[in-house]
Structure 1
């Protein structure tokens, strides 16, 4: 890709973009050799470029030597009109929901075949939560992920259903069972999980639409993580739906 570029400046930029483009939802941690191969660059060239990207914060080198997307790109991504506007609009509703439930609250969007966490307010209960601001997790074992998967294009659903992997002993990995769950989510307007992502953590989530109309496109998901849903599911679903409708109207 970069070799076809005539100017040296564009060639450097092209190589950097090729290396960054090597990452996707299925390839979030890459070795130098994998980066070079996926970017179609000689390994010495990739090494020089990756070193500069790490120094600038665009990439981060983990202790095992693999590379992941750095904080710089996350911070820049938050400046994109959709994500910035969504976080700003949703923020007061997230804080109200957090104050009312004292639980961990998530705002998330779909990024390829994964769920990307745009915002998170930590709960007061000692519930194990693995999500981090700016992190991605699989769609199928998370409440917000199931909501987003239920409203994703058919091609995304097909890929996810074909590659289900267990995270805990409770993760739904049978394509037929998950497909039936997605149908119920579209019908009922909410998703739940019970220890599918983390033992000791349950979640409930609802869609956020771009507009107040019932058929408006789903652009994000709003979720809550709690120790149990046995006695609180109906109350949490109601609180989430009120907040989601407020965000949708504002969008």
Structure 2
């Protein structure tokens, strides 16, 4: 596809338009898309019109844009993340009901040094939660990331621990030595437990879901206020659930998700 003056292809600019939408910006005007995607207004108008024509965006009566039904259809039919979510959902619901705290399913994004949250349950608990559905966090600032680092390839560990650990979620700088201790604990114990982290009142736990080739595929986590959580109960439930999914009849497969559009 033709490149813009910035060197971007049309497809890359279309992705920027789609990435302008998130949990708190699910409905946008063209001018809002232009601003959030950092695109000229004329370019945003043209790309939005094309995306509406093919159904990846829908335009409401108020002229605001939302993600289109066709985008969901394509994703639901073909994306391996949906297969993993579908298989894990009954187990996650059981964990959430048993511990009555925030429960999530996440997958590692080692190419980007990030965690991608693909399912979450928030009905119970009073904890302040920063994770969002379809949202990302760094590998070092949450319990899912710690369990992923405990099973990460050496080049990922070398990259993550060789640069300042500044969280994109809260802007806080994390202590490398503390993160290393958390990772070593997770390797030794088989689960992650993070206290006084992103939200000081919270405690977060995570267990890995492993594929038949010994690689980590995903993680189940529980987060709650420390004064509402019982380690023994939560870890017992998580261990049983992780074992159930890791050693079921059908082996778990790591969803192949491309880089997140970063250079």
Q: What TM-score comes out, normalization by structure 1 length?
A: 0.70
CA–CA distance in structure 2, aligned partners of residues 15 and 88 of structure 1: 34
- 1:85 is aligned to 83
Are the structure 2 counterparts of residues 35 and 127 from structure 1 closer, same or farther at C-alpha, using a change threshold of 3 Å?
Answer: closer
Residue 63 of structure 1 corresponds to: none
Contact 1:168–1:196 at 8 Å: present in 2 too?
no
Does 1:151 pair with 2:147?
no
- Between the aligned partners of 2:56 and 2:189, the Cα distance in structure 1 is 43
**Residue 119 of structure 1: SS of its match in structure 2?**
strand
What's the CA shift for 1:149? 2.8
Number of residue pairs aligned between Structure 1 and Structure 2: 223
Name the CA distance, whole Å, in 1 between partners of 2:105 and 2:223: 12
Matched, 1:200 2:170: no
Give the SS at the match of 1:204: strand
Query: What is the RMSD computed on CA atoms of the aligned residues?
Result: 3.9
CA distance in 2, matches of 1:151, 1:75: 33
Equivalent in the alignment of 2:62: none
Following superposition, the deviation at residue 125 of structure 1 comes to: 1.8
Shift of 1:245: 0.9
Q: Distance in 1 between matches of 2:10 and 2:174?
A: 37
Is residue 2:7 matched to residue 1:3? no
Distance 2:74 2:115 in 1: 18
Q: 1:70 to 1:126 in 2, by over 3 A?
A: same
Provide the secondary structure at the position in 2 that maps to 1:3. Answer: coil
Give the structure 2 partner of residue 183 of structure 1: 184
Question: Which runs of 5 or more structure 1 residues have no equivalent in the other structure?
Answer: 5-13, 60-68
Residue pair 1:142, 1:193 contacting (<8 A) in 2 also: yes
Consecutive aligned runs of 4 or more in structure 1 exceeding 6 Å deviation: none
Map 1:8-157 → 2, pairs under 5 A: 15-20=9-14, 45=43, 48-49=46-47, 52-53=50-51, 56-57=55-56, 76-111=74-109, 112-157=112-157
Q: TM-score, normalised by structure 2?
A: 0.67
Aligned residue number for residue 254 of structure 2: none
- Between the aligned partners of 2:236 and 2:150, the Cα distance in structure 1 is 19
